[in-house]
Amino acid sequence: MSKTPSETPSFRDLNIAEPLLKALDEIGYETPSPIQAQAVPPLLQGKDLLGHAPTGTGKTAAFALPLLSRLDMKNKSVQIMTLTPTRELAIQVAEAFQRYASHIKGFHVLPIYGGQEYSGQIRQLRRGVQVVVGTPGRVMDHMRKGTLKLDGLKALVLDEADEMLRMGFIDEVSWILEQTPADRQMALFSATMPKEVERIARRHLNKPQEISIKAKTA
Ligand code: AMP
């Protein structure tokens, strides 16, 4: 009944959690974009994902919705972390998480990036956040200081991986990946697949499902 004639699944068909469906309804997303239809099922199953996808395809929701659906609100540790190349993208992705999770009580997401005081970030990290979205340099600093603990991390997303490496974050990204729990789920999104990105994917993704999206959403 919830299928459209073209067999595009609805968000409900994709098994997105109820509070998120409510938020999507309010935001006004009617149907999943192609990348969402492809990325949600494997991510909901806990699989790793390699996504060839540019921005503007709806990729933020493609990873945020399934990962938020698996959030355990009784668990106080950071469960999801997304790395982004720039502070602007970190803020944008954090805001998207916040909007999608607006009906999850007690939900907290924190963007962390350089050029901002540590004290505010540390205070919020202490209070407890389920999701962190940050740039590699600052994330690494917090991990080194012990102010960002990732022992309970369940999922890690590299967003715009090619940009991140182009901006010279390869050492930080590799270091962070080495420190996260070996059994965490991981998704890597990149518009292009230069050698360095491929190397990271081969080394850190566990039997990833590969998806490829070229067209932008209408
Ligand atoms: P992104 O590629 O994640 O930056 O998303 C691009 C834009 O598409 C953002 O403004 C989103 O709010 C919007 N968007 C994402 N998914 C959907 C959807 N299923 N329906 C309508 N708009 C969407």
Over residues 156-209, the pLDDT tens digits come to 999 999 999 999 999 999 999 999 999 999 999 999 999 999 999 999 999 999
Are 110 and 131 spatial neighbours (Cβ–Cβ below 8 Å)? Answer: yes
H helices, E strands: number in the chain:
9, 7
Q: For ligand 1, pick from 29, 99, 102 the residue to mutate: most ligand atoms within 8 Å of CB.
A: 29
Q: What is the pLDDT of residue 218?
A: 44
Are 73 and 104 spatial neighbours (Cβ–Cβ below 8 Å)? Answer: yes
Can you tell me which atom of ligand 1 is nearest the CA of 96? 12
- Cα(26) to centroid(ligand 1), Å: 14
Tell me what percent of the chain is helix, strand and coil, each rounded to the nearest 5.
Answer: 40, 15, 45
Q: Whose CA is nearest to atom 12 of ligand 1?
A: 58
Q: Whose CA is nearest to atom 20 of ligand 1?
A: 29
Residue 61 near ligand 1, beta carbon < 6 Å: yes
Q: What is the pLDDT of residue 215?
A: 61
Residue 29 near ligand 1, beta carbon < 6 Å: yes
Can you tell me which atom of ligand 1 is nearest the CA of 92? 4
Distance CA 188, CA 165 (A): 12
Distance of CA 110 to the CA centre of its chain: 13
Note the pLDDT tens digit of each residue in 32-80: 999 999 999 999 999 999 999 998 899 999 999 999 999 999 998 999 9
Confidence tier at 15 by pLDDT (50, 70, 90)? very high
Which residue type occupies 26?
A: E
Model pTM? Answer: 0.95
Query: 10 Å Cβ neighbour count for 151?
Result: 9
Its sign, for the CA torsion 167, 171, 176, 182, is positive
Confidence tier at 5 by pLDDT (50, 70, 90)? low
Distance CA 158, CA 184 (A): 13
Can you tell me which atom of ligand 1 is nearest the CA of 54? 2
Confidence tier at 214 by pLDDT (50, 70, 90)? confident
Q: Whose CA is nearest to atom 5 of ligand 1?
A: 58
Percent of the chain with pLDDT over 70: 95
Strands 209-212 and 131-134: unpaired
Note the pLDDT tens digit of each residue in 76-129: 899 999 999 999 999 999 999 999 999 999 999 999 999 999 999 999 999 999
